[in-house]
Amino acid sequence: MIRRGIPMKNIQRIVVGIDFSDYSPKILEYASWVAENNSAEIVAVNVINQTRIEEVAADLNDEHFTSEVVQKFIQDETQKRQQQLTELLPQWVSAEVSFRTVVKNGIPYEQILQVVDDEKADILVISSRGRTNFQDYMFGTTAEKIFRHSPISVLSCNLL
């Protein structure tokens, strides 16, 4: 496909970063529109932040701390978030669009970009704002790092 002399890559797979903030439904609507207009699939990804995992480990006192407790937290949190994604996506993604969900744990930008690579995504859709609702904070962390390191185009939705 060529638009105005610029070759455009066909979009077949879209990775969407979902953090369950108030902006997540709108991000899914944008991604759904892009997917529907390109007959593409959506892969929605959520990341259990490594910082949160470390907080859980720190909250446990030494006598109760075991790696099994942390693994149980990760397992439970993964199941909870998978369920949230399973409930959220059909509400905001067109019935004409196929989708899958992925929950990872670790450093958010690294995990999102790993999913981009694993899925051989053509475009990544994220919000310009996240759970903190502080745009500067978001751009100082996850979104800014995604923009710098993403091997594919990033559609950043500025939702006010």
How far apart CA 110 and CA 144 sit, in angstroms, is 12
| Of the listed ranges 22-26, 55-59, 105-109, 149-153, the one predicted with least confidence | 55-59
- Residues in the chain, total: 160
Residue type at 116 in one-letter notation: V
All residues at 6 or more sequence positions from 22 whose CB lies less than 8 Å from its CB, including other chains = 133
Q: Which domain holds residue 92?
A: 2-157
**For the residues 100-122, what does the mean pLDDT come to?**
97
- pTM of this structure: 0.85
Q: How confident is the model at residue 54 (pLDDT cuts 50, 70, 90)?
A: confident
The pLDDT value recorded for residue 128 is 74
Q: What is the CATH number of the domain that holds 146?
A: 3.40.50.620
For the chain, what is the domain count? 1
Contact 102, 45 (CB under 8 A): yes
